[in-house]
Amino acid sequence: MQGESAVRFESVGFSYEAFDDEEVPTPVFSDLDLELPYGMVSFVGQNATGKSTALLLASGRLRPDSGVVTLLGRDTSELDDEEERNSLASFVYQNMEFETEFPVVDLFAHVFENGFHEQKDAAIVEELIAVLELSDALGSRLQDLSKGEMQRSILAFSLLYGSGAVMMDEPIFALEDYQKQRALEYLKDFSHRTATPVYFSLHELDLSRLYSDHVVMFYRDERNPWIGPVDEVLTRGLIEDAFEYPAAMLHQRESLYRKHLLKST
């Protein structure tokens, strides 16, 4: 897959519906051109710069107002069948919550057995349980899990599903630091081993630097996002330009945002 693009945005425009007090909706993107490679790709930038929207467009959960989004060779505007769309991309939303009467272990088996893996190797189920430390959660219902256990279970679901691509919006903010590192290390290995592109947004630049192959930097103005290898994008100058904030102080700012996310759950 070296050199290929898994997702293409061509002259994409997108706006959410206007609020009652707005005459015209504010566009999130007006002429977005972007190619997303295979591998582990993180989306970084300030809040309200379009990271989540780009992930939703890339996965076919949203459709562009203009232009074309291509996902693994398919025009997302043609993905009317939900199962076909899910086979191309699984999506982990921020703050996902579920209620079910079935225990986690049964849900893992159901998702894996009914997923889209071309070759089903049941070893991945046990592998994910071990890596994500879910042994103690297997007998519980999802609504009875802690926030961290819920996020780790949803990460497992996203890989057990066997979609062609995996897209995640702030998927690990409730995890302990060592759990974040274990999860991202496994995701990167999984992405490389299976040629599955993994796209994710994070507010922790250190983790993006450690576990990404490429980084997409989003801006507040109308510039197209800047994409490139980690070492070319996560430089002090480009970070300060995008975040409009001293790089040395960003770690404290990221910590405050993660605390906000946890309080809002």
pLDDT tens for 6-18 read: 999 999 999 998 7
Whether the pLDDT of residue 19 is over 70: the answer is no
What is the rounded distance in angstroms from the CA atom of residue 105 to the CA atom of residue 18?
A: 43
The tokens for 47 are 């809040």
Selected from 1.20.210.10, 3.30.360.10, 3.40.50.300, 3.40.1160.10, the CATH number assigned to the domain covering 5-263 reads 3.40.50.300
pLDDT in tens, 168-216: 999 999 999 999 999 999 999 999 999 999 999 998 999 999 999 999 9
Q: Which of 69, 157, 65 is CA-nearest to residue 106? A: 157
Whether the pLDDT of residue 259 is over 80: the answer is no
What is the rounded distance in angstroms from the CA atom of residue 79 to the CA atom of residue 249?
A: 43
The tokens for 119 are 């070759």
Contacts of 71 (CB under 8 A, 6+ apart): 6, 7, 58, 59, 60, 79, 88, 89, 165
107: three-class secondary structure by DSSP = helix
Q: Which of 110, 181, 104 is CA-nearest to residue 137? A: 104
Pick from 125-134, 162-171, 221-230, 255-264: least confident: 255-264
- What is the 8-class DSSP label of residue 225? P
Can you give the pLDDT at residue 251? 67
Task: Quote the strand ranges of the chain, DSSP E.
Answer: 5-15, 27-37, 40-44, 66-71, 74-75, 89-92, 165-169, 198-201, 214-217, 226-229
Give the mean pLDDT of 112-121.
89
Arithmetic mean of pLDDT over the chain: 91
Count of beta carbons in the 10 Å neighbourhood of residue 52:
18
pLDDT band at 118 (very low <50, low <70, confident <90, very high): confident
Angle between the N-to-C axes of helices 104-113 and 123-131, in degrees from 0 to 180, rounded to the nearest 10? 140
Give the mean pLDDT of 79-98.
92
What is the rounded distance in angstroms from the CA atom of residue 46 to the CA atom of residue 243?
A: 6
Whether the pLDDT of residue 166 is over 70: the answer is yes
What is the rounded distance in angstroms from the CA atom of residue 183 to the CA atom of residue 189?
A: 10
The total number of residues shown for the chain amounts to 265
| pTM for the whole structure | 0.90
